[in-house]
A and B are shown apart, each in its own frame.
Chain A
Amino acid sequence: MDKPVIIFDKVSKDFYIQEEKTFKEFLPNLFLGKPWAKKVAALDDVTFNIFQGETVGIIGKNGAGKSTALKLIAGVTTPTRGKVIITGKVAPLIELGAGFHHELTGYENIFLNAAILGLHKKEIEIKLNDIIEFSELKDFIYAPVKKYSSGMYMRLAFSIAINTNAPLLLIDEVLAVGDEDFQRKCLNYLQEIKKSREKTIIFVSHSEQSVKKFCERVILLDHGKLITEGDPTEVFEKYHHILEETNRNADVS
């Protein structure tokens, strides 16, 4: 095994849900000594390592802490307690068109989005043809993206993200959109990267099928805690247990 590229060391992340958004509501509470926000633990004492070249899935129910884990890896937020260590270039999150401007053309948005993901002008120019070709949007590349269908939008975003050369790919439910052909194309492409073992891929999805097919290791989160990690089939068994239990509890109450 190579060296770990992502280390989560006893990581906890608390969120403060601000209930009062305006100063008018905030001020009386300040004087009355009420807490200004409600504390919610999104991650609670989570420890794991992810190694160079691995493809790891993160699964769990809604609100289990998956997105928070991704945010910590992407470096947009910092842990409340514990340590997150990322080796190498910080990974841009594959995010569907974060920063796309709907009035600008697809072509203009390639440059904008790639710059947001940390590329320089020269690097983008080199990748430009690959991006357009992969997105299959050659005929529409000079149309404003607001005219795009959600599938086209997603294709462009995905094409940019995979061409950024980042050693770490974070994939958050990306494959939920787009038509089947393009989904297959993306999965095939990701399989290729996986084989080359040059990139580390973190895959967050609700789709059991694609996680099992694609990931060699799975981490299961529930209520901010790491329940188990390991072989996809075993972890999914555990996950089904949790889901059943939740359903049973829901039935009882």
Chain B
Amino acid sequence: MLKELATPFLTHKYLLFQLTQRSIKARYKQSIIGYAWVLINPLAQLLVYTFVFSVIFKFPTNNIPYPVFLFAGLLPWIYMQNVLASATTSLVDNADLIRKVYFPREILIYSVVLSKTVDFVFALSLLFIFMVVYHIPIGLTTLYIIPLFIIQIILMSGLSLFFSTFNLFYRDIQYLVTLLLLLWTYLTPVVYALSLVPEKYISIYKLNPMVGIIEGYRSALFNLAFDTGTICWSLIISVFIFVISYIFFKKSEKVFADIV
């Protein structure tokens, strides 16, 4: 199984590269500002959320300026949303390919994850600009975002494999995912701090694997204490989801061409 898991990255890495490139290049063709949308989208959300949650609601954020606090959670969250939304429909969108040519189908999913990762890395530069503007020191602990990022990739890939397969059978899944993402946003500490969650709900609240990841990013960026237990939970859940989804995906792969 390990060998099978690695095939897309070894024997098919050029295809993976080409498909990733296709989705990045094609997305903003025939648009005026093109790739800048990757930056404008989070900036616009930042502006409105800052007004709503910092000016109107006055959410406390442990003395971190709200825009920076928000961005640290919002960027990985937008990343997640983009991946799941595109990956869910990616098998259906590529029906032509699936019917005609054989290659490991998970490449389609990974190419979505990769192309959105490129967007994410670009958007992250905004965050660092904000940190400089707000005089927040960028220390060595920042490097901890790398393992957290890997956990997030595992989680996203797992969910994407799962949802995309189901969406091939029933298109309801893509609408369900849209709804799920909307609700999930509010159940994750993106716009508010984890400390606002009442004590009696916190243990249930932390079952959400994105809690550990988003809070982890903030700990790394603002040099706060890590909630190691929650992060470990996120890792375990993410790997679990990935393994189950991967097995499910490879088992269903054989009939993709028949049902798409």
Binding site for B on A (CB under 8 A): 15-16, 18, 21-23, 26, 71, 74-78, 90, 92-93, 95, 98-99, 101, 103-104, 108, 111-112, 115-121, 144
Contact = CB atoms under 8 A, between A and B. Distances in A.
A103 B30 CA distance: 8
B227 interface: no
B14 A93 contact: no
Nearest to A170: B100
B44 to A, nearest CB: 25
Contacts of A103: 25-26, 29-30
| 3 A-B pairs with the lowest CB-CB distances in the bound complex, closest first | A115-B18, A103-B29, A75-B102
Contact of B102 (A15, A26, A76): A76
B58 interface: no
A36 to B, nearest CB: 10
A78 B102 CA distance: 11
B214 interface: no
Contacts of A120: 14
B15 to A, nearest CB: 4
Contacts of A18: 259
A78 B254 contact: yes
A15 B258 contact: yes
A212 to B, nearest CB: 27
Interface residues of B, number: 28
A104 B96 contact: no
Interface in B162-199: 170-172
Nearest to B16: A115
B103 interface: yes
A231 B192 CA distance: 76
Contacts, number: 79
Contacts of B97: 98-99, 116
B143 interface: no
Contact of B101 (A16, A22, A76, A78): A76
B115 to A, nearest CB: 13
Contacts of B18: 111-112, 115-116
B102 A90 contact: yes
A238 B255 CA distance: 34
Nearest to A13: B258
A95 B101 contact: yes
A147 to B, nearest CB: 12
B22 A101 contact: yes
Interface of B: 14-15, 17-19, 21-22, 25-26, 29-30, 94, 96-103, 170-172, 254-255, 257-259
A23 B101 contact: no
A115 B14 contact: yes
Given A77-B254, A99-B97, A116 B15 contact: yes
Nearest to B254: A78
A21 B21 CA distance: 33
Contact of A77 (B26, B94, B171, B257): B257
Contacts of A23: 170, 172
B171 A99 contact: no
A150 to B, nearest CB: 16
B42 to A, nearest CB: 24
A154 to B, nearest CB: 15
Contacts of B15: 115-116, 118
Contacts of A99: 94, 96-97, 101
Contacts of A93: 100-101
B29 A144 contact: yes
Contact of A117 (B17, B25, B96, B101): B101
Nearest to A90: B102
A144 B17 CA distance: 20
A98 B96 contact: yes
B102 A74 contact: yes
Contacts of A108: 22, 25
Nearest to A72: B257
Contacts of A121: 14
Contact of B100 (A74, A90, A101, A118): A74
15 contacts: A16-B259, A23-B170, A71-B257, A76-B98, A76-B257, A77-B257, A93-B101, A99-B94, A99-B97, A99-B101, A103-B30, A112-B21, A115-B19, A117-B101, A121-B14
